[in-house]
């Protein structure tokens, strides 16, 4: 994927040189619909680009891919660093492909802009899955804000689905708002935990528990099998304290060993049961529709801000207004009014 990234370079000769080699939007779409991984990767690179020309192409591709009706399951996977997300995804992904699914793995990584891709960046962590012809792994884009990452991940999901991937795994680390972002784009949200030492209920963000459709205790292997069982009981008890979800689903607690490949069958069965049940009740479809709506509203908010702060007349006056506000010469509200009045759409 390194070559596509270069289209973001500002050197014109470079871009023009590459352009001849790059497939057209139509060619990319055809490739995606055929399930061609290279076309898919290139389309995602366009989505992740910061060049307006590339983004326009990406928009056209997204429009065409939206038209494809697919039957996918989007699964969010979160957990603190060290919980074994990569190993889990490797084992779980391989199980799914062995049963005939096509699996795409994406990531929302709020830390990537600082650490240059801390999750999924190192593909060697998923050595088996990366070689699997029915798996597609895409590291998180780096150097963009969380809002940007969210949009790009959502669009990458559309592309992967159009390419025939029917299970989309979206990994995130438990930092900042990334879990909320991932939760807002998946059908099923899975929280990975370690078998703790009596403190199973500590150090867990209240909001995360409420978001989880299931808690899976990983690394239930060797000496920790017993601990994991204890943790299962504690979490199950703790989850009963929460009000039931709007869909009536009672979040499940399971344990597994991704390393030893045990317990993953149960995880898969649980998720598939969830999907079957909620497709029947229509909740599955309604949730996706609500997510689409929220995505529109979020895009509107983002774009309103972007257009305002990019406006040259606003840019020219903003610093002056900030100074007046800072020095109590004008109230923030009056200053905002002035800036808004000079803003042209």
| List of residues contacting its own copies (CB under 8 A) | 59, 62-63, 66-67, 69, 151, 154-155, 158, 202, 289-290, 292-293, 295-296, 298-301, 303-305, 307-308, 321-322, 325-337, 339-341, 343-345
Three-state DSSP at 53 gives helix
Question: Which residue's CB is nearer to its own copies, number 1 or number 304?
Answer: 304
C-alpha 166/C-alpha 74 separation (Å) is: 8
Question: Which residue's CB is nearer to its own copies, number 88 or number 165?
Answer: 165
Q: How far is the CB of 17 from its own copies (least distance, A)?
A: 29
Question: Which residue's CB is nearer to its own copies, number 50 or number 289?
Answer: 289
Question: Which residue's CB is nearer to its own copies, number 207 or number 244?
Answer: 207
C-alpha 256/C-alpha 192 separation (Å) is: 10
C-alpha 192/C-alpha 212 separation (Å) is: 10
- Cα–Cα separations (whole angstroms), residue 172 to 68, 84, 187, 295: 27, 12, 15, 19
Question: Which residue's CB is nearer to its own copies, number 176 or number 248?
Answer: 176
Q: How far is the CB of 135 from its own copies (least distance, A)?
A: 25
Q: How far is the CB of 56 from its own copies (least distance, A)?
A: 11
C-alpha 37/C-alpha 231 separation (Å) is: 40
- CA 216 to mean position of chain CA atoms: 19
Q: How far is the CB of 298 from its own copies (least distance, A)?
A: 8
Q: How far is the CB of 210 from its own copies (least distance, A)?
A: 14
Q: How far is the CB of 158 from its own copies (least distance, A)?
A: 8
Question: Which residue's CB is nearer to its own copies, number 90 or number 155?
Answer: 155
Question: Which residue's CB is nearer to its own copies, number 58 or number 214?
Answer: 58
φ/ψ (deg, to 5) at 75: -120, 125
- Cα–Cα separations (whole angstroms), residue 170 to 6, 103, 127, 214: 26, 11, 18, 15
Total residue length of the chain: 345
- Cα–Cα separations (whole angstroms), residue 250 to 167, 183, 188, 210, 230: 23, 17, 13, 11, 19
Question: Which residue's CB is nearer to its own copies, number 26 or number 199?
Answer: 199
Return the closest-CA partner of residue 142 out of 176, 103, 114, 166: 114
Q: How far is the CB of 106 from its own copies (least distance, A)?
A: 17
Q: How far is the CB of 61 from its own copies (least distance, A)?
A: 10
> DSSP letters along 106-167, please?
EEE-TTHHHHT--SS--GGGGHHHHH-TTEEE-PPP-SS-HHHHHHHHHHHHHHHHHTT--E
């Amino acid at each position: 994927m390194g070559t596509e990234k270069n289209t973001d370079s500002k050197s014109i000769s470079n871009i023009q040189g590459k352009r001849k080699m790059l497939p057209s939007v139509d060619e990319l779409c055809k490739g995606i619909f055929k399930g061609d991984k290279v076309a898919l990767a290139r389309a995602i690179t366009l989505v992740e680009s910061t060049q307006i020309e590339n983004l326009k192409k990406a928009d056209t591709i997204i429009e065409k891919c939206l038209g494809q009706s697919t039957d996918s399951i989007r699964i969010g996977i979160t957990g603190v660093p060290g919980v074994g997300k990569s190993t889990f995804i490797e084992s779980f992904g391989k199980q799914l492909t062995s049963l005939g699914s096509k699996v795409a793995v994406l990531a929302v990584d709020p830390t990537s802009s600082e650490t240059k891709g801390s999750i999924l960046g190192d593909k060697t962590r998923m050595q088996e899955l990366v070689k699997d012809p029915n798996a597609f792994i895409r590291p998180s884009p780096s150097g963009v804000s969380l809002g940007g990452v969210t949009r790009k991940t959502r669009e990458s999901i559309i592309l992967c689905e159009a390419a025939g991937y029917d299970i989309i795994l979206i990994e995130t680390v438990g930092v900042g708002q990334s879990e909320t972002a991932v939760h807002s784009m998946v059908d099923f949200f899975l929280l990975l935990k370690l078998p703790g030492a009596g403190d199973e209920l500590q150090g867990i963000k209240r909001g995360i528990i409420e978001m989880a459709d299931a808690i899976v205790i990983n690394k239930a292997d060797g000496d920790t099998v017993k601990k994991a069982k204890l943790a299962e009981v504690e979490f199950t008890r703790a989850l009963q304290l929460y009000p039931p979800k709007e869909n009536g689903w009672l979040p499940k607690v399971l344990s597994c060993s991704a390393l030893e490949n045990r317990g993953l069958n149960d995880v898969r069965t649980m998720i598939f049961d969830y999907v079957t049940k909620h497709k029947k009740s229509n909740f599955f479809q309604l949730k996706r529709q609500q997510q689409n709506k929220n995505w529109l509203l979020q895009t509107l908010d983002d774009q309103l801000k972007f257009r305002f702060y990019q406006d040259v007349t606003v840019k020219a006056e903003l610093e002056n207004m900030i100074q007046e506000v800072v020095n109590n010469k004008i109230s923030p509200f009056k200053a905002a009014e002035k800036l808004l009045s000079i803003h042209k759409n």
